[in-house]
Amino acid sequence: MTNEVQALRPLLDLIYSGEGGPDSYNRGRAGDSPGPWPGGLQRLTIGEVEQLQARGEVFAVGQLQVTPGTMPLAIRAAGLTRTDRFDRVNQDRMAVGLILRGIRRRLSDYLTGAHDNLDAAQNDLALEWASIPRADGRGAYDGINGNKANPAKVEATREALRRSRAALMALARPVVAADVTTAPRPLARPITTRVVMPAKRPQDYGFKDGDFHLVVNDLVETCKAYNFRGTLLWELPALARGQGRDNQWNERHTDTPPGLYRVGQVYRDWERNPNPPYSRDAIGYGWFSLDLVELEDQERKHGRAGIMIHGGGSGAGWPGAWAPRQPLLPTLGCVRMHNIDLRDKVMPLVDAPGAVFVSVYQER
């Protein structure tokens, strides 16, 4: 968490400059309580601050102006307890938790490199803090309870987002030595369409320390793996491509439906026999097949079923489909990765004690 705080310091400083200091508070309206809380909020535990909020003595508190409704999420996202102090250090941790592990998916995904839409990240940030302007210069809560964002901070906000993203992504180091498969791939085609992101997040399903999150983006043909703390573990080639148009996933055999999944049953063909004879399963699915359990009803509502992550490729022939780095060919709607990447990079996450969630991004 300390490294995350340091990486996000440009963004934190920008937020605090418009919200308050570590002992600041209001009673429900911006500016209704000038000066710090008598004696200082930092001397109190988080639980004691919550009690003040419950009694209506304070509403938004601290340098991040966390409200009663957001406080439980901030505590969980920061990995704190109600016996911890509401001091400057823990307020930093709560702010980072809300930014990276809160409900603002477009913000956290921008900062961790899952997408490059700066406007979307800024607009999400404005939804979390009233002093932050959206990309159009207006605040999300302008005129509500005395709130007014500063339109002059649009470019400062964008620069803080860019700097924090660069610093955060610089923290991420592959867990294995880099080779040609871990380097980002060039775009296979120009991106001219909008990305469709999952509506749900792993946090909606009890995402916890020890769990992992795979982000499959068909626009750039990659799969990125993150741990619970949002650290990028690796980036590998992947294809979520079916037999239809690039923006078609609602018919049988078309692209992988966008949405959030969880890895379910795993078929370990390579472990059973690393040199098998030809079979339809061996050529079609390769070394490993991971069933994906839908969490957004994205298969059923489109009449789809059996979505997986697997290797192989009938179009690669035999034994070409069983090669460690077989061609990544379109499937009948599943996610395809290289056989050896499934064995060496994906399976260690699957075999760990936690759950593995999978987000699929597609074109609109």
List b or e across 138-160, with b for residues whose CB sees 16 or more CB atoms inside 10 angstroms: ebbbeeeeebbbeeebbeebbeb
Q: Quick: pLDDT tens for 321-361.
A: 999 999 888 898 999 999 999 999 999 999 999 999 999 99
Please report the pLDDT score of residue 246 as a whole number: 66
Q: Which of 156, 171, 186 marks a domain boundary?
A: 171
User: Please, which pLDDT band fits residue 1 given cuts at 50, 70 and 90?
Assistant: low
Q: Would residue 189 count as lying in a domain?
A: no
Q: Are residues 116 and 214 in the same domain?
A: no
Residue 312 lies in a domain: yes
**Is the pLDDT reported for residue 286 higher than 80?**
yes
Report the pLDDT value the prediction gives residue 190, as an integer from 0 to 100. 37
Residues 165 and 282 in one domain: no
pLDDT in tens, 178-226: 232 333 333 333 333 457 889 899 999 999 999 999 999 988 889 999 9
Work out whether strand 222-227 and strand 232-237 pair parallel, antiparallel, or are unpaired: antiparallel
155 and 227 fall within a common domain: no
Residue 187 included in any domain:
no
CA 101 vs. chain centroid, Å, equals 8
Q: Is the pLDDT of residue 169 over 90?
A: no
Q: Please tell me the predicted confidence (pLDDT) of residue 105.
A: 83
Q: Is residue 213 part of a domain?
A: yes
Domains in the chain, number: 2
Asked whether residue 180 is domain-assigned, the answer is no
- Which structural domain range is residue 287 located in? 195-363
Residue 56 lies in a domain: yes
**CATH number of the domain that 320 lies in?**
2.40.440.10
Report if residue 185 sits inside a domain.
no
Whether 278 and 321 map to the same domain: the answer is yes
What does R_g of the chain's alpha carbons equal in angstroms? 23
Residues 40, 97, single domain; the answer is yes
Residues 215, 325, single domain; the answer is yes
Q: Is the pLDDT of residue 99 over 80?
A: yes
- Provide the pLDDT for residue 61: 94
160 plus 245 within the same structural domain: no
| pLDDT 10s digits, 175-186 | 333 232 333 333
What tens digit of pLDDT does each residue of 101-149 get?
887 888 988 998 888 899 999 999 998 898 999 999 999 888 887 888 9
Query: Residue 290 has which token pair?
Result: 């991971």
294 lies in the same domain as 216? yes
Do 270 and 353 lie in one domain? The reply is yes
**Domain endpoint, select from 171, 204, 233:** 171
